[in-house]
A = this chain, B = another copy of it.
Amino acid sequence: MGTTQLETVPEPKYWHLKTVLSNALDSEFAVGEILPNERDLAARFGVARATLRQALEQLELEGRLQRRRGVGTTVAPPRVGVAVGEAPHAWPGSGGDAWQPVDSSLRRPPAAVARLLGLPADEEAHAVRRTRVTHGQPVAAEVLYVPVATVPALAALDTPPGPARARAVLHELQRLELAGQDRSVELGSAPADDAKQLDRLPGAPVLVVTTRFVADGRTAAVAVATYRADTCRLTFDDNGVELLAS
């Protein structure tokens, strides 16, 4: 006896640190409260700043902390649930949803999107940019790709770039009968464009939701939405269960 537990499996310092900090956040800090700065925290725990940062990064990834350059580190509120599976048979922009059209232009979609749309790699499509705002904070940036063939009425489009043009494309979509849609979710890092729209640094972790809209027996449009992974919890409500939100 004596040596009850030889350190047979030494835990990494940053991992232990993360646990300690996590417990402290639960018991000693309120939402919105600012933590001591990184240099002080590192000194207090007797580790290098880089090690302390590794722990903070994990906690930020889990949505427990929020860090802003020049400002400080604050305790994050619980993640907001954002509905993604809303209406299974609705085009984007139909209901009074939380999306705001930003801009629209003709652009060559990324290879993966072109494949979904069944377009040749070099063909242009309408690219409609939208922002989703919840509780006053931007939570998602989206680009909706609509092949020119899907909205023939817009062939001679004279609307100048801007929100108005985005609305014109969305409005034209409503004229089609939507047969259904399917979605996929994966982890990604925010490209520079999206990052600015989401008020984050480039490379910030995002949940990438790719939606395929089907009409007329073919893929009529594809939306690629990037949600802030630190602040968002995506919710998918399956048929009729929402009635139970008593």
Interface residues of A (CB under 8 A from B): 15, 18, 58, 61-63, 79, 81, 85, 88, 179-189, 202-203, 205, 207, 212, 214, 217, 229-230, 232-242, 244
Which residue on chain B has the smallest CB distance to residue A219? B244
Q: How far is the CB of A245 from chain B (nearest CB, A)?
A: 10
Q: Is the CB of B234 within 8 A of A189?
A: no
When distances are taken between beta carbons in the complex, the residues of chain B under 8 Å from A187 are 61-63, 187, 205, 207, 229-230
Known: A186-B232, A187-B205, A214-B244. A180 touches B239 (CB 8 A): yes
Partner of A183 from B88, B207, B235 at Cβ < 8 Å: B235
A208 to chain B, nearest CB (A): 9
New A-B pairs, 12, CB < 8 Å, besides A61-B187, A186-B234, A212-B241: A15-B202, A18-B203, A61-B188, A62-B187, A62-B189, A63-B187, A182-B236, A182-B237, A187-B207, A214-B241, A214-B244, A236-B236
From B183, B205, B207, B244, contact of A238 by CB (8 A): B183
Number of copies: 2
Residues of B within 8 A of A18 (CB): 203
Do residues A181 and B233 form an inter-chain contact, with CB atoms below 8 A? no
Residue picked from A202, A236, A237, A242, most chain B C-beta under 10 Å:
A236
Q: Give the nearest-CB partner of A236 in chain B.
A: B183
Let me know if A238 and B185 touch, CB within 8 A: no
7 closest residue pairs by CB, A with B: A180-B241, A187-B229, A186-B233, A185-B234, A88-B238, A183-B236, A184-B235
Complex CA gap A206/B235 in Å reads 16
9 A-B pairs with C-beta separation under 8 A: A61-B188, A81-B184, A85-B238, A181-B238, A183-B238, A184-B236, A185-B185, A185-B236, A214-B244
**A180, B214: Cα distance in complex, Å:** 25
**A145 to B: closest C-beta gap in Å:** 18
**Contact partners of A241 in chain B: CB under 8 A:** 179-182, 212, 214
Alpha-carbon distance A217/B245, docked complex (angstroms): 10
Give every chain B residue within 8 A of A186 (Cβ-Cβ). 63, 79, 207, 229, 232-234
